[in-house]
Amino acid sequence: MRILVTGGTGFIGEALIPALLDKGHSVTVLSRQASPSTIAGVTYIQQLEEITESIDVVINLAGASLAGKRWNTAYKDEIISSRVALTRSLGEYFSAAEQRPSIWLNASAIGYYGPREDEELSEDSSSGHGFSAKLCRDWEASAVEAAGDARVCLLRLGVVLDEGGGAYAQMAQPFKMGVANWLGDGKQWLSWVHRDDVVSAFCFALENDQLDGPVNVTAPEPVSSRGFCFAMRKVHRTLVAIPMPGFVMRAMVGEMADELLLTGQRVLPAALMSVGFSFSCPSIDDALLQIEGER
């Protein structure tokens, strides 16, 4: 199939695109960059008007990083428009195209559910409150509208773990320096997923039309912040454990602390499990072994 990937130069795209090429798909990446670091066999474009063949599938990953900068009004606007306005512009382009894509895989995030306590959340759970929840709702709505009659999967990603980027590099930093820590009271849930399973979930969603609508892409065994710390301590030889108090996090990163770090959500991949998807890293111990290797 001919696949257009937005945000394909990022942490997920750089792992997903080789898997799509291996499966024989042709891949075009829409990037803001004039000279992105490239993957052989991929066509890079900066404008949709550069597309020369009809597109069967859109994989929409682009968006300014939520953890990229402190959330001031200008950066919040960038976070929103880099997703919602970009998705609308894709919709406008394809509504005028001769042939519209038949499959649309759109990234979203478990932030859709907002800060929750111990409640187990599936795709049927309600959306929550806060900036990230509204962002995800608006992004998902713009994707459904842009996709027209295509089959749309809204892949609500958990915290994607792997080496070489994403959240793990920052999460692992204190442990690598010999200090174990959890955030706040450490009871908040961390619904994580290994990047290999994210790649498999996108490929699965591409090939399986039983998947339609919201799809939680999180490992079946979420952990608390303390549980993550415990698993990391088994991998890294930490000398001391120093919890990071909430007020320190708020002083360091502002509003983001209460949305992304000191609260969480216990998300289960109900849709994926119901169609027989198999995780290569179902537990956090599996994921850390995969990332850090035997020690």
Ligand X SMILES: NC(=O)c1ccc[n+]([C@@H]2O[C@H](COP(=O)([O-])OP(=O)(O)OC[C@H]3O[C@@H](n4cnc5c(N)ncnc54)[C@H](OP(=O)(O)O)[C@@H]3O)[C@@H](O)[C@H]2O)c1
User: Using CB under 6 A, which of the segments 55-63, 169-177, 220-228, 271-279 binds ligand X?
Assistant: 55-63
Task: Enumerate residues 6+ apart whose C-beta is below 8 A from 60.
Answer: 6, 7, 86, 87, 90, 104, 105, 106, 107, 143
Strands 189-190 and 223-224: antiparallel
7 contributes a contact to ligand X by CB under 6 A: yes
* Interaction residues for ligand X, span 71-110 (CB under 6 A): 78, 82, 86, 107, 109
Instruction: Tell me how far apart the alpha carbons of residues 291 and 163 are, in angstroms, rounded to a whole number.
Output: 6
Kindly identify the residues of this chain, within the stretch 144-173, that bind ligand X according to CB under 6 A: 157, 159-160, 166-167
CB of residue 66 to ligand X, shortest distance in Å: 6
Nearest by Cα to 164 from 8, 11, 2? 11
Q: What angle do CA 6, 153, 194 make, to 5 degrees?
A: 75
What does the buried/exposed string (b/e) look like for 162-174 if buried means 16 or more CB atoms within 10 Å of the residue's CB?
Answer: beeebbbeebbeb
What is d(CA 171, CA 244) in angstroms, rounded to the nearest whole number? 12
Q: How near is the Cβ of 48 to ligand X at its closest, in Å?
A: 13
Structural tokens at position 283: 């537990």
Q: Considering the complex, what minimum distance in angstroms separates the CB of residue 74 from ligand X? A: 11
64 binds ligand X, rule: CB under 6 A: yes
Query: Is the CB of 77 or the CB of 145 nearer to ligand X?
Result: 77
Determine the interface stretch with ligand X among 27-35, 144-152, 263-271, 274-282 (rule: CB under 6 A): 27-35
Is the CB of 29 or the CB of 238 nearer to ligand X?
29
The Cα 2–Cα 270 span in angstroms is 29
Stretch that binds ligand X, among 62-70, 183-191, 236-244, 285-293 (CB under 6 A): 62-70
Name the site residues for ligand X (rule: CB under 6 A): 7, 9-13, 31-33, 36, 61-65, 78, 82, 86, 107, 109, 157, 159-160, 166-167
